[in-house]
Amino acid sequence: MLSRSTFLLPLCGPQQQQQQRAMSTLKAISMRLRSVKNIQKITKSMKMVSAAKYARAERELKPARAYGIGAKTFYEAAEIGAEEPAPDASQLLVAVTSDRGLCGAVHSSIAKRIRANYTPEGNYKIVCIGDKSRTILQRTHNQNILFHVSEVGKKAPSFSDATAVAQEILASGYEFSTGNIFFNIFRSVVSYDTSELPLYSLDAVTKSPNLAVYDSLDAEVTQSYLEFSLASMLYYAMKEGACSEQSSRMTAMDNASKNAGEMIDKLTLTFNRTRQAVITRELIEIISGAAALK
């Protein structure tokens, strides 16, 4: 009898454990199922919100594009950037991102471009528009950051935002000969291009040979023109960046909802299977218990 009980015990042990495990996994699965369903609701609503913001951003991008292309035309027509600048000339880099994440690779692509082309020891300063670029670039290029702009991304960018940044750049007193604005050009709902807009200082423009073609220019007019042009190009970059960010967030949240939906389907199947297994096991125990008593 002892031997039988000892024989029975090891059988009961893992079975009991398995039963307990099945019960606890049932609870665990249902908890997981509930949380994934909540996540799906959240990502769906985020997708709706960013779809609405994207529609507005795309509408506002059309005039902004004509404006930005008009602002660039002078530099292209006058071929100001035709000569290569001196390799250690001071540069100003502007990274146009925003504060909020969950939007795919829009922010990291800009930081990657800057990291790839500029080593921390170079002679340049970075202006970070948006906290995301600041957090990524702070790790390696902390001493190169001139200043950063926060509270970007909640509302659509306006021309006064661009002028505020331009004024801060000019007031910072950093003398640069050339520069680049890094931003994402919106191509379509599913794609964007990380690209750059060149910036030129008063020196670079006045030294350019083609400037002589332009009639009756004095330094004051050129300076005012360049300041306004800086604000215009920043505005254009911010508009394009905002549109790319909203469309990227929309697709990212859409993918997240789809993945959550797949997880919910799989979990539901596992849940039902486990529930049926638990019921079957209980029945077996009851029946075998009753059969043992008989």
Partner 1 sequence: MALVRSALRLTRSSGVLAQCSRSMADMPLTFAAPSQVFYNQQDVRQVDVPSFSGNFGILPNHVPVLAVLQPGVVSVVEADGSTNKYFVSSGSVTVNKDSTVQVLAEEAVPLSDLDAAACRQALTQAQADLASATGDQERVEAQIAVEVSEALVKACE
Q: Does 69 bind partner 1 (CB under 8 A)?
A: yes
| 153 three-state secondary structure | coil
Query: Considering the complex, what minimum distance in angstroms separates the CB of residue 50 from partner 1?
Result: 22
Contact 33, 260 (CB under 8 A): no
Q: How many binding residues for partner 1 (CB under 8 A)?
A: 28
Query: Considering the complex, what minimum distance in angstroms separates the CB of residue 60 from partner 1?
Result: 7
Q: Does 55 bind partner 1 (CB under 8 A)?
A: no
Contact 153, 100 (CB under 8 A): yes
Q: Does 12 bind partner 1 (CB under 8 A)?
A: no
Query: Considering the complex, what minimum distance in angstroms separates the CB of residue 232 from partner 1?
Result: 6
Given 144, 201, 229, 244, the residue binding partner 1 (CB under 8 A): 229
Contacts (CB under 8 A) with partner 1, residues 174-193: none
Q: Does 201 bind partner 1 (CB under 8 A)?
A: no
Given 78, 106, 242, 250, the residue binding partner 1 (CB under 8 A): 78
Q: Does 221 bind partner 1 (CB under 8 A)?
A: yes
Which of 114, 162 has the CB closer to partner 1?
A: 162
Contact 165, 129 (CB under 8 A): yes
Given 60, 101, 113, 270, the residue binding partner 1 (CB under 8 A): 60
- Find residue 96's DSSP bridge partners: 129
Q: Name which of 153, 137, 156 is nearest 145 in CA terms.
A: 137
Q: CA-CA-CA-CA torsion for 277, 278, 279, 283, nearest 10 degrees?
A: 100
Q: Does 155 bind partner 1 (CB under 8 A)?
A: no
DSSP category for residue 209: G
Contact 73, 101 (CB under 8 A): no
Q: Does 105 bind partner 1 (CB under 8 A)?
A: no
Q: Does 286 bind partner 1 (CB under 8 A)?
A: no
Angle at 85 between CA 167 and CA 185, to 5 degrees: 55
Angle at 183 between CA 177 and CA 186, to 5 degrees: 145
Which of 124, 186 has the CB closer to partner 1?
A: 186
- In angstroms, the CA 27 to CA 239 distance is 48
Given 147, 174, 225, 271, the residue binding partner 1 (CB under 8 A): 225
For the record, the structure tokens of 273 come out as 């299977």
Given 91, 97, 184, 232, the residue binding partner 1 (CB under 8 A): 232
Given 145, 147, 159, 263, the residue binding partner 1 (CB under 8 A): 159
Given 108, 135, 222, 270, the residue binding partner 1 (CB under 8 A): 222
Distances (CA, A) of 255 to 39, 61, 94, 108, 128: 12, 25, 31, 19, 29
Q: Contact residues for partner 1 (CB under 8 A)?
A: 60, 62-64, 66-67, 69-71, 73-74, 77-78, 158-159, 213-217, 221-222, 224-225, 228-229, 232, 235
